[in-house]
Structure 1
Amino acid sequence: MTAERLRLVLGATGAVAGFAYYILLEEQALAMAPASLHRFVVYFAIAFFPAFGLLAGPLLPAVAALRAAIIATALSLLVVLAGLRFTVDRPSDILEPASSGLMIGPFLLLVTLLIPLSVTRQWFDYATFFRSAWSAALKTIIALLFLLLFWAVYFLSNALLELVGIDILDDLASEEVFSITLSGAVLGVVLAIAFELDELITTILRLVFGLLRLLLLPVTAVATLFVIAALVQGLDVVFSQRSAAGTMLAMTAGAMLLVIATLGTKDEDFARHLILLWSLRILGAALPIMVSIAIYALWLRIGEYGWTPDRLAGILAAAVALIFTLPVAAYALPSRSDWQRHVRNGLLWSVLATVGIAILWFTPLLDAQRISARSQLARLTGGLTDPATYSYYPLAHEWGKAGKNALDSFKAMKPGPEVQSLIAAAERADNKWAAEQVATRAGNASSWRQLFARIETRPAAATLPPIEDVASDSLAHSPPNGHNASCLQENEPRCIAVAGDFLPRVSGIEWAIVSQQYPGTYPQVTLLYSDAGVWHFSSFGVDFSAEDDADLISILRDRPLEWIDPGVRGLAIGNTTLMPMNPRN
């Protein structure tokens, strides 16, 4: 096919793709069709057009269209199968019923992997697969960058024409169908031009490989240092950090990208510098350990909170990462004969294993919603999860039929009225945030109630108000987290609630809830005040002197209260002063 004809074909295909996406996703043209048919057509379009665009260069258009159609049909049927787990309550549920990317994400991963596998009949060929994958990625990036440049020129041209009162470009761009269709056409033409310059693309890839190889040594050093430090200091240090497993898996993915760039697509491309060789071998030892730590971190999380679709996806992602690191560990680390070829073949097997795992994700064998719903129901009924603080929204709205069935089973056990109100609120909620606000209020109320039952008061005869009299909005935004460690410890609770007229301009008595986990540590102080019979939480300004008055709790217990009154009334504990932040000012 001539270059001009390929530009015409891909430009027209891109325009049709843009128009189809607009009709299917924005206008919801098939909203009245059966959900399975609607989902099949949407996902077919999502897969077919990119696959055809990236295959039409190396293959004849007819062959590219056939292979793209096979990919799109097979994957769309998988999505339809997985979609049977869900009920469609609104049109947006067609694309992503779980609202967490766990359907569209694996689908796009499969499309991305199957396109380079479809370039040639010799699909089990490392050089062909990775050269096609790198080339497709580079061409896509070039096309997207040019699209940004195109629209920058477009809007600059519009600004120029508006100076003379011509608004046609602005009028066209304001029509969403025009913008999306034109963007598709531009992407198609740029892809066609990129296919014409395959030799230049190959040269750019060599440059990219060379630049990525520069990062191999520092990444190896960081990964090795992390593994050694984690093993020496203990894993508790690692697990105390937020998103530890995600960070380790992201680092592993980046390191494997550098390994693949260093290996090249064939022996002639292999970087044989001694430093790079040793870096590969060291990574062969470090990366499996890092991934194993990430898997252990995820497993601890699952043991503590049970399965969810996100955690199951995380475990599978970690398994894929481990699969990719094993060929490097098996062949590069011992430096066996012809180890580069063995590593490349192992990586290709890893790609095929990833395809297999992603396919299983859409089948009943890895029904994430069913697995998660059973896990959470078992925890709720087995006493491992507190029903009064649990968020029921995922069961009610995100985990499909399995989640709703699990929730119905739990409701049939007749939980208490507070739990029933939480479930009802989750079922009524339009979004997860609204449901979690209700759950947060209930959880905070339960925590404050437990704290109020144990806290010491001054004067001793004074009684804290019932938690039911605290405003719900105040409960939602005032968790007692800062007090729990001090007030709920087994030996000697280190917290005191002091009654006093902290806000002279507000009628009635207020409370200062003071906790200090250890002598010398900064205290946690919360103000509790009444407004028209409804109690609210607020905060204190604390001028803390750790040197002179380290043990505030002992001072409050053993000494008379000292009051100060700078407009509002504060409390002096030795040289430490507590001042409420007046909610009326």
Structure 2
Amino acid sequence: MDGDRQKIENRLLMALAGAVAGAALWVLSEHWTDPGIDPALFVAAFAFVTGYATVALALAGPVPLARALWVALLVVVPSTVLLSVAGFRYEVSTEVLDRPHMLVGWAILVFFATPFCSVWAQDRSAVFSYAQLFETAWTLTVRYALAAVFVLGFWLVVFLSSALLELVEIDVLQQLLRTDWLVFTLSGAVMGLALAVLHELRDRLSPFLVLRLTRLLVPVVLGVIVVFLAALPLRGLSRLFGEFSSAGTLMAVTIAAITLISTALDRDRAHEVESPGLRLATRILAVLVPLLAGLALWAIVLRVTAYGWTPERWLAAYVAAFLMAYCVLYALATPWARWTSYIRMINVAMAGAVIFGSALWLTPAVQIYRMSANSQLDRFAQGKTEASELPLWQMHNDWGRAGRAALARLEAQADPELTDLVALAREAESRFAYDRGALTARRPGRVERLLTLLPVRPEGAMLNPSDIAGLPEFRLEALIDGCQRSLPDGRPGCVLIRGTFMPNAPADAQGMILSRVDEQQVDVTYILHDRPQAPRLRGAFDPLKEVWPTLSVEDLTAALDGEYSVAPSGVEALFIGGHVLAPGD
């Protein structure tokens, strides 16, 4: 009976703690935009309440609730101070809460520090024990995940019950759903109750099953990575690094691989993977992951070289650097007989490094906004970036005091175009509004730019401003980008071929535009200017092969050299490089 009573008391205490946490979060949400509260104070309150609610509930269970409440302060107080300090980078401190660049560092700090704090609270001598840290981290993750599922299930039941009672005109539950403070408080109470019950069932709901299932994915991920790396030389690096999202994908796969390696090696030698096949796959995966991390880092380097630094690229580079450290150390450990023990030691050391790096990220020692602003200003001063390509709206709205100081420096240059764009950045309510206004402001210059870039064939044919003045903005930008992807011989990566492709318009009012889209592919668009409004645009179709073809750089080079013909094929078509191109429907 005493045991049952203790369980009930513990459940009630955890539910009460969760309810208080939920109510505190509701109070924060209610005062999110309250002008009467000092912004710096609100940031501190947000970091403290959110962090304290999360960490205290995570610790409670393995650690008695009373002890968990004060031990949680060891994580929450430093992280609160660091986020508050980060808030001083902005004119209004609460802007930090809208900036993922800072919140990610704060969240990682809390996430990685909590298992250390939990182990310390239970056994101070085992605070660096990998076995204890590993089991604690996974137990916390599984408990929170299952508790969150239970909370969702609770509100699903409430919602369905409300719908059922409304059929007999009883709206009590509907009123509950409309009461924000009650929703927050109940959610917290249910979360606390679920965490208490899950701790009671820890012997039955340990992360053991999750880990055993997860490690089965090692050969699958290894196979995918091997195929990717084998296909990479055949497909070429240009497509891989064509978009910044490639770095994000590579880093996500690297994180997944690191997680799978850690789960396969488990908490100690007694629990690590024993199957020879899985063990070999894990070892090979540890050898290959530095290649993924290296490609991610290289993708970021290429992006920075082409467009300069931004806070997002600094964050990506920061994460990629830590991933590279993880992966290189993993690979260096694999040749040794005790490689599994070494990797477990590496995980402890790197977890400490991540905590330190996250804390450093939030301090004035790492000034990502100032460094980003200086990078963009230097590129502009060196002529590598046009005024219209500068991230002016982001400088004013997202880059804090350093960004606005950079705008003032740009404005002092007294360049008319730049002055107008800076004013637009300050007035625009959204990035979309700024981009739209900037496109409109620079359109005449962009049309003039395309006129100077786009060659016309046959020799002697002309391109008039009226032919392209009505092009949609995205088409104009795409054509300029294509022309600026120069060929190896230095000629533009585009050409307009005049011809009577449609019989209802003269040759000087229509043509086929070939424009480079990457290192290998060339897009083809038929353009017809037979009306005062915007020209008509169509894709190019091959009526013989019945496909919408994509041309190669060799075809573009042939077109610039005049190695093509325009001849009848139903209507007149462009014959080039084995393709027959006619205006599509």
Quick check: TM above 0.5? yes
Structure 2 SS opposite 1:289: helix
Query: 2:559 and 2:298 mapped to 1: Cα distance?
Result: 41
Per-residue CA distance 1:143-168 (angstroms, 9 max, x = gap): 11111111111111111111111111
Q: Specify the alignment match of 1:539 in structure 2.
A: 537
Per-residue CA distance 1:373-392 (angstroms, 9 max, x = gap): 11111111111111133331
Among candidates 233, 243, 246, match of residue 244 of structure 1: 246
Per-residue CA distance 1:388-423 (angstroms, 9 max, x = gap): 3333111111100101111111111122x2332222
Q: Specify the alignment match of 1:271 in structure 2.
A: 273
Q: Is the Cα contact below 8 Å between 2:482 and 2:515 reproduced in 1?
A: yes
| 1:248-259 superposed matches below 5 A | 248-259=250-261
Q: Is the Cα contact below 8 Å between 1:126 and 1:344 reproduced in 2?
A: yes
2:229 is aligned with what amino acid?
V
1:526 is aligned with what amino acid?
I
Among candidates 514, 529, 532, match of residue 512 of structure 2: 514
Query: 1:73 and 1:511 mapped to 2: Cα distance?
Result: 70
Q: Is the Cα contact below 8 Å between 1:444 and 1:480 reproduced in 2?
A: no
Query: 2:42 and 2:308 mapped to 1: Cα distance?
Result: 33
Structure 2 SS opposite 1:201: coil
Per-residue CA distance 1:405-457 (angstroms, 9 max, x = gap): 11111111122x23322222111111111112233445665443222235549
- Quick check: 1:481 aligned with 2:478? yes
- Quick check: 1:134 aligned with 2:131? no
1:515 is aligned with what amino acid?
I
| 1:303-382 superposed matches below 5 A | 303-331=305-333, 333-336=334-337, 338-382=338-382
Q: Is the Cα contact below 8 Å between 1:500 and 1:511 reproduced in 2?
A: no
Q: Specify the alignment match of 1:224 in structure 2.
A: 226
Query: 1:277 and 1:556 mapped to 2: Cα distance?
Result: 58
* Count of residues in Structure 1 that have an aligned counterpart in Structure 2: 554
- Quick check: 1:80 aligned with 2:84? yes
Deviation, structure 1 residue 461: 9.0
Query: 2:343 and 2:501 mapped to 1: Cα distance?
Result: 73
Structure 2 SS opposite 1:269: coil
Q: Is the Cα contact below 8 Å between 1:55 and 1:64 reproduced in 2?
A: yes
| 1:485-496 superposed matches below 5 A | 485=482, 491=491, 494-496=495-497
Q: Specify the alignment match of 2:26 in structure 1.
A: 22
**Which consecutive unaligned segments of at least 5 residues does structure 1 have?**
565-569
Query: 1:245 and 1:194 mapped to 2: Cα distance?
Result: 38
Structure 2 SS opposite 1:166: coil
Structure 1 SS opposite 2:86: helix
| 1:271-310 superposed matches below 5 A | 271-310=273-312
Q: Is the Cα contact below 8 Å between 1:541 and 1:578 reproduced in 2?
A: yes
Q: Specify the alignment match of 1:155 in structure 2.
A: 159
Deviation, structure 1 residue 537: 4.7
Q: Specify the alignment match of 2:552 in structure 1.
A: none
Deviation, structure 1 residue 321: 1.2
| 1:349-498 superposed matches below 5 A | 349-415=349-415, 417-441=416-440, 445-453=444-452, 454-456=454-456, 464-465=464-465, 470=469, 475-482=472-479, 485=482, 491=491, 494-496=495-497
Q: Specify the alignment match of 1:567 in structure 2.
A: none
Q: 1:460 to 1:406 in 2, by over 3 A?
A: same
Query: 2:499 and 2:437 mapped to 1: Cα distance?
Result: 29
Deviation, structure 1 residue 223: 2.3
Q: Is the Cα contact below 8 Å between 2:565 and 2:574 reproduced in 1?
A: no
Deviation, structure 1 residue 484: 5.8
Q: Specify the alignment match of 2:68 in structure 1.
A: 64
1:82 is aligned with what amino acid?
A
Query: 1:215 and 1:127 mapped to 2: Cα distance?
Result: 22
Q: Specify the alignment match of 2:103 in structure 1.
A: 104
Q: Is the Cα contact below 8 Å between 2:461 and 2:498 reproduced in 1?
A: no
Deviation, structure 1 residue 285: 1.6
Q: Specify the alignment match of 1:38 in structure 2.
A: 42
Q: Is the Cα contact below 8 Å between 2:457 and 2:495 reproduced in 1?
A: no
1:476 is aligned with what amino acid?
E
Q: Is the Cα contact below 8 Å between 2:498 and 2:508 reproduced in 1?
A: no
Q: Which is worse superposed, 29-38 or 494-503?
A: 494-503
Q: Is the Cα contact below 8 Å between 1:209 and 1:261 reproduced in 2?
A: yes
State the Cα RMSD in Å: 3.7
Q: 1:196 to 1:41 in 2, by over 3 A?
A: same
| TM-score, normalization by structure 2 | 0.84
Q: Is the Cα contact below 8 Å between 1:388 and 1:442 reproduced in 2?
A: no
Query: 1:237 and 1:555 mapped to 2: Cα distance?
Result: 28
Structure 2 SS opposite 1:33: coil
Per-residue CA distance 1:118-149 (angstroms, 9 max, x = gap): 01223211111111110011011101111111
Q: Is the Cα contact below 8 Å between 1:327 and 1:347 reproduced in 2?
A: no
Query: 1:201 and 1:38 mapped to 2: Cα distance?
Result: 38
Query: 1:329 and 1:318 mapped to 2: Cα distance?
Result: 16
1:39 is aligned with what amino acid?
V
Q: Which is worse superposed, 231-240 or 386-395?
A: 231-240
Q: Is the Cα contact below 8 Å between 1:527 and 1:537 reproduced in 2?
A: yes
Deviation, structure 1 residue 60: 2.1
Per-residue CA distance 1:269-294 (angstroms, 9 max, x = gap): 11122112222221222111221222
